[in-house]
A and B are shown apart, each in its own frame.
Chain A
Amino acid sequence: MEEINQNSPTSLDFNTEKFEPKDEIEIQQIIKFCYKKNLPIEIVGNQTKLDIGKKMQCAKTLDMSKFSGIIDYKPEELFIKVKAGTPINFVREELKKNKQHLAFEPINFSKIFKKNSNEGTVGGTLSCNFSGSRRFKVGSARDHILGFKGFNGKGEKIKSGGTVVKNVTGYDLSKLITGSFGTLLAISELTLKVLPLESETKTIIVSGLALEHAMGIMGSAIASSNDPSGAVYYPGNLRNNFVFNDLTHPGSITAIRVEGTKISTEQRINNLTKELVLEDKKLTILDSTQSEIFWEDTRSLKAFSNSDKNVLRAVVPPSETVNLLNRLKTFHPNYFLDWGGSLIWLELDYLSSQKIDQIRDRILDANGYLTVIKSPENVKSSSEIFTIDPIKFKISQNIKKSFDPKRIFNPGKMYTGI
């Protein structure tokens, strides 16, 4: 289906506020209608990440959650093609049947936003581009999208990419739409790279380390030949979130994950213990089952779950982390570190837009960036949610215009004026 006749008969009620298209013809008709009438549209999936970004006042809602299903899955070709509204959990289960997975470990926000077990749709996951602990090894969501189809702000169907990994055929629009929070395109179809699940996972936990020491250990682990796939640090005050039979030591948790065959994981755990001189430390090795729970808890932000506190996400070069956290002490945050210390999840009791600005300034000083994940509506409305400078704002505005000239898709969701 390349071109859709906009005059084809439709059962759509254009007076409705919320559209739930069941096919591409309907998606196109809705967008063409809104384009013609200058009606802003909020694009949503399962609404699990709706609270990230600014709240919008849109005349129409395009709910993609009914546009769901696997179009093509070829395990031996390492790709899966799905409709944008397909639940990410469903995809995960299907992949698991073939011992495969989405290696970028999309962050599960359902616990911090209290959305039960709903993790949202594939379209929503890619639109937000928040990736888990394997980031430094396998990349993020943007590194796993091979191609897409969707509709621009004029209702024109466009595609880019394909099903293969190696592809230099025109601009890589797949990357551009990933993390664009639905402001460029209504995505209808996505092709994702999938990878084999490793047969064993082991986690080496060093208990009771101070931050500086933990940063050194994580950095050395990542910079070794042992190919770790996760390195996180939980300070002592968050220790009680993790209850494992084998984890008996008190104090902070510095955890390093290795994945592979049984023989390989064992060898790498031994290597790490020796190379990082951990023999005399309080060590715990989590087996595959316990490891999976530990990293699932990290991916789900368990340490900050079921609370009403504010959540911020900062990313800085790892060499800046310690200094930045010292400079943030005045705000009394809870924090934990992922990506070997480069990703800092912050939890704060009280937040104002002024505080956000102060925190952002310190993060910018550290050559990093801040994203406001969870905060009260009145704070969000008067704050910058995503860091941007004026030059890139102008570039982004031009790019937005090239996709969505009337700014009907998620206007203001990321930035005022985009």
Chain B
Amino acid sequence: MSSLKMPKVDRQILKNKDKIVNDISAFTQKGNILSENEELKPYETDGLAAYKQTPMLVVLPENTNEVSKILSYCNKNKIKVVPRGAGTGLAGSALPLADCILLGLGKFNKIKEIDFNNRCVVAQPGVTNLSITHAVQDKGFYYAPDPSSQMACSIGGNVAENSGGVHSLKYGTTTNNILGVEVVLMDGTITRIGGKVFDAPGYDLLGLITGSEGLLCVITEVTVKILKKPDTVKAILLGFPTIEDAGNSVMEIISNGIIPAGMEIMDKVLLEATNNFSKAGYPLEAEAMLITELDGTKSEVDELIKKVAEICKKNKCTSVKISKSDEERAKFWSGRKAAFPACGEMAPDYYCVDGTIPRSKLAKVLREITKLSKKYKLPVANAFHAGDGNLHPIIMFDANDKISLEKTEKFGEDILKLCVKHGGVLSGEHGIGIEKRELMCEMFNNNDIQQQINIKNSLDPSSLLNPGKVYPILRKCAEEGRLHIHGRDKSKFSDIPRF
């Protein structure tokens, strides 16, 4: 593992490993406890694959009572626990610790109830995002948040990271699309928050837990809202001579009161890369392309497509292509969805950055990213969820070249600082995890972070649940859970390999 500072390893816990295995086998079947190196290996990393750490144990509980007993035992015996869904997260939130029990929720893989009357689905946390839609699509329903990893990522992980997707401009992120959860606190307490109703009274614990990256509780059940599929969906591909023109079009579309289902900008580098890869029929002469998707009734979609095209033409758009069928619309998206593998064809390694900026700053920030690309001599391809200002610059590099790797991590850091400088935030949908932990001080001061840590302490006083994630720790005082003070020791971030 890299030199990234993590909570101090408790040697005593490691020494007691055999006893812990024995104790835990009283709570769950022996076969659910993995303790041999070759069994632990698949769990040593999540979607942020450069970070690796073998956990002490992996436990795969089968029901909520087992989770409760395991957590209660760990709480009493001061054993750290790292929860994990499908392990697709890109910020390292599910990275194990050397002395932890990695609590895999993979066996929680059933849809418990499909309730069309109340327009919701009750699912165990290990159920994949897409399988919820699959379970209800025969009646024309779907689950709206669609992170690009939706085939593999779990709904529990979506709640933990507040996952978004290309349609969050109109339909919101996970937090806007769930009704309730069942959770287990670190002391083993089982509780239900929300249910099949909106806005449960009291503090909005559902809102607090969503996006809390596994630091506050373990999610054992999720109730999601389902929506009826729109009558008509069409996409429009628009080519532009400059990225500014594409950015201006986005602003003007929204200023005209149109909220499309999705709006994505791709720059020339990505256009060429993805078109070669998926033959999506993109306008290769353009410097930037905007994909806009509109949904609703047929007449409404036709009317809005016309308006969007007019606005874009006013903003110097050079080509307009409207999808004539669902197949063609899927083809339009195929290039965008192939952004990662396409970049993988262009360089040995790539690193995707995730930050959000105000929409009006798109062109400006992109220009600065281009300058940084020249400064670091590293190619970058840009994809944006332009409608909601969520950037995904993809830096291409060679991990075998140490200098290239160091430059990449610095480049990523500079992009995120740019986002904050322009009024944005460090993460739009991937979360903070360990990846951006040290950058939290760019956005928050001591009081802000301490308040968040106080909340963590109020639910998990011994800081055993997923410690070392999200909030920066000073090397000297990691054990005391104190924090990195803004303005000091900023160089630590450069210790993190970022890819």
Contacts and interface: CB of A to CB of B under 8 A. Distances in A.
A33 interface: no
Given A223-B119, A317-B118, A318-B118, A171 B212 contact: yes
Interface of B: 115-119, 140-141, 161-162, 164, 168-169, 172-173, 175-176, 185, 189, 191, 193, 195-208, 210-213, 216, 228-231, 251, 254-255, 257-259, 296-300, 303-304, 356-360, 385, 388-390, 423-432, 440, 443-445, 447-452, 454-455, 457-459, 470-471
B207 A178 contact: yes
A189 to B, nearest CB: 14
Given A135-B198, A159-B448, 7 more contacts: A168-B161, A168-B429, A168-B430, A175-B204, A222-B119, A227-B296, A260-B300
B254 A76 contact: yes
A139 B300 contact: no
Given A165-B168, A166-B385, A263 B203 contact: no
A371 interface: yes
A164 B200 contact: no
A261 B229 CA distance: 20
Interface of A: 2-3, 74-78, 99, 129, 131, 135-136, 139-140, 142-143, 152, 156-160, 162-176, 178-180, 184, 195-199, 219, 222-227, 260-261, 263-264, 267-268, 271, 315-319, 339, 342, 367-369, 371, 386-389, 391-392, 395-396, 398-399, 401-403, 414-415
A175 B199 contact: no
B199 A140 contact: yes
A367 B176 CA distance: 21
Contact of B197 (A156, A160, A178, A368): A368
A74 B360 contact: yes
A369 B194 CA distance: 10
Contacts of B206: 175
A15 B141 CA distance: 61
B388 A165 contact: yes
Given A261-B300, A342-B198, A180 B431 contact: no
B196 A317 contact: yes
A168 B428 contact: yes
Contacts of A75: 255
A131 B360 CA distance: 30
Contacts of A174: 207
Contacts of A319: 115, 117-118
A386 B202 CA distance: 7
A283 to B, nearest CB: 20
A395 B204 CA distance: 11
Contacts of B189: 391
B177 to A, nearest CB: 9
A140 B198 contact: yes
Given A139-B172, A164-B358, A164-B425, A197 B303 contact: no
A28 to B, nearest CB: 11
CB-based closest 7 A-B pairs? A175-B207, A196-B257, A264-B300, A398-B458, A166-B428, A402-B454, A317-B196
Nearest to B451: A158
Given A78-B254, A315-B199, A401-B458, A162 B425 contact: yes
Contact of B258 (A170, A196, A268, A396): A196
